[in-house]
Amino acid sequence: MKIVVALVSLSMVIMVGMVFQAVHQEIKMRKAKNRMVESSLEVKRKEEAIVELKTKIESLGQTIKTTNSKNEELRRKKEEASQSNKNFGERLGTCSNEKAEIVKKKTDLTKIISELKANHEQSKEKASEEIQNLKQQILDRDKAICAFVDTTKEEARKLCGISESSR
């Protein structure tokens, strides 16, 4: 009997040990299952965050592309404006040179015109003097002719300025 009691006690101790072991394993399994559920939830959240970040990255990529294209367009416009500015500068230089030439020609022509006006005035004065001299010579000649002309004729009276009443 002693052996039976010892065997029953030993089997009880072994059984309690096995129950304890089973309960301990069950608790560990539940904890592992809970951690696994939490980990899967965390993985899902992180996946969602990754997907969200991907969409943000794609939208930022599109924004960068549009910004780069606008930047390139602005560079082209800047180059065109620079080229246009250079062309306008060259045209301005050409126009300035032409203007300087025209101003020089104008001053030369103004000088020539003033000289011609002065010469014209002098010529006019000389011509006026010559006309006066010629008129005086004609009057002197007419007076000399009037002294010898027959005043009875009408042409002679007209030439000498004699009226019929003074005869």
Stated as kind and residue range, the H or E segment containing 125 is helix 2-148
Task: Tell me the pTM.
Answer: 0.42
Which pLDDT does position 165 carry in this prediction? Answer: 54
Task: Kindly give, in sequence order, each residue whose CB lies less than 8 Å from that of residue 151, ignoring residues fewer than 6 positions away.
Answer: 157, 160, 162, 167
Q: What three-state secondary structure class fits 167?
A: coil
> CB under 8 Å to 146, separation ≥6 — which residues?
156, 159, 160, 162
The token duo for 4 is: 């039976």
CA distance 63 to 70: 10
Distance CA 125, CA 139 (A): 21
Average pLDDT, consecutive stretches of 10 residues, N- to C-terminus, the chain (167 residues)? 89 94 96 96 96 96 96 96 93 92 94 89 90 88 75 75 61
Are 149 and 156 within 8 A, CB to CB?
yes
